[in-house]
Amino acid sequence: MTAAQAVDFEALTTAATEAMHAAYAPYSDYPVGAAALTEDGRIITGCNVENASYGLGLCAECTLIGQLRLTGGGRLRAFTCVNSAGETITPCGRCRQLLAEFAAETLWIKTAAGVTTLQALLPEAFGPADLTAENR
């Protein structure tokens, strides 16, 4: 069994679907829920929160990372997100970068095309290592 097969993506999808029902999406009518498994076994969730000033809206991944920090921090081992129909959707580029900041060495992501790694979705990501003194 591979590391990705050891992840209960059905439980993550259920948690993401429950989170989606808490979304605030009156402008786009596109609620999104997200769920992730941390290295220490917690499942955390997030939902999108829109704003009348469209640019101020938060993706589900943003609120998920807030929840990660509020519940003890750590690193993300697995992730998925869903739309209002419960269909798996793939994180946008901005959210891939956000997930990279908090990813475990390997972050398994269930996408519409199947399970892959964040590294495959965001190769050569910019991250904390790029901000060391010798890289400035």
Per residue in 9-62, pLDDT tens?
A: 999 999 999 999 999 999 999 999 999 999 999 999 999 999 999 889 999 999
Q: Tell me, what's the pLDDT at 43?
A: 98
The answer to whether residue 61 is catalytic is yes
Q: Distances in Å between the alpha carbon of 132 and those of 64, 86, 107?
A: 27, 41, 23
Residue 85 has pLDDT above 80, yes or no: yes
Q: Which amino acid is at 112?
A: A
Q: What is the pLDDT of residue 134?
A: 72
State residue 5's pLDDT score: 75
| Identified catalytic residue from 50, 61, 124, 134 | 61
